[in-house]
Amino acid sequence: MRTVQWLFTVSVLLFLSGIAFIIAAERERRAAPSAAAAAAVEVKPVASVKHLMRGIVSPASTVIFDSVSTTVSKAGVETKQPQTEEEWAALAGTAASLSEAGNLLMTGNRAVDRDDWVKKSQAMVDAGIETLKAAEAKNPDGILAAGEHVNAACDSCHMKYWRQ
């Protein structure tokens, strides 16, 4: 009878050990990077901050600033805003480009520091997203408000980091 109890105890312990190994293996599998993450492409920055400013940020912000306006003259009040689906879509694409430029400013060795530079770059990303949402909603007042945030993000960064 004693042998039967001993075999039963060993069997239960082996069964519990097997369950513990399965749980540990599953936790390890979940903690390991996925195959997609392991196969991720390494991003190598090409453009300098000046290139990004001249090639993306400045042209994009100019398009945003010039997209909606009201001019009062002797001839009357002239309101300018995108009129067609294509014009609104182009403005939305420009806003997305501005946001992505903010992301690019935080990648690689472009970040001058990991504190204010990142915060100011993120402010540009956020202002671009705000502009994108206003363009997708075809909201001229939203574009004007977002344009103020784009300007504030640019001015804030230039005050600290402007280099000729």
Question: Residue 32: its pLDDT value, please?
Answer: 67
Question: Residue 44: its pLDDT value, please?
Answer: 82
Asked whether 104 and 47 are in contact (CB, 8 A), the reply is yes
- In the structure, what pLDDT confidence band is assigned to residue 88 with cuts at 50, 70 and 90? very high
Instruction: Please state the separation of Cα 115 from the chain's center in Å.
Output: 17
pLDDT tens, residue by residue, 35-82: 566 566 777 888 999 999 999 999 999 999 999 998 898 988 899 999
pLDDT tens, residue by residue, 121-146: 999 999 999 999 999 999 999 999 99
Question: Residue 24: its pLDDT value, please?
Answer: 77
Instruction: Please state the separation of Cα 25 from the chain's center in Å.
Output: 34
Cα 135-105-89 angle, rounded to 5 deg: 15
Higher pLDDT, 67 or 162: 67
What single-letter amino acid sits at 135?
A
Asked whether 60 and 95 are in contact (CB, 8 A), the reply is yes
Asked whether 114 and 102 are in contact (CB, 8 A), the reply is no
Three-state DSSP at 79 gives strand
pTM, full prediction: 0.72
pLDDT tens, residue by residue, 2-23: 777 777 776 766 777 777 778 8
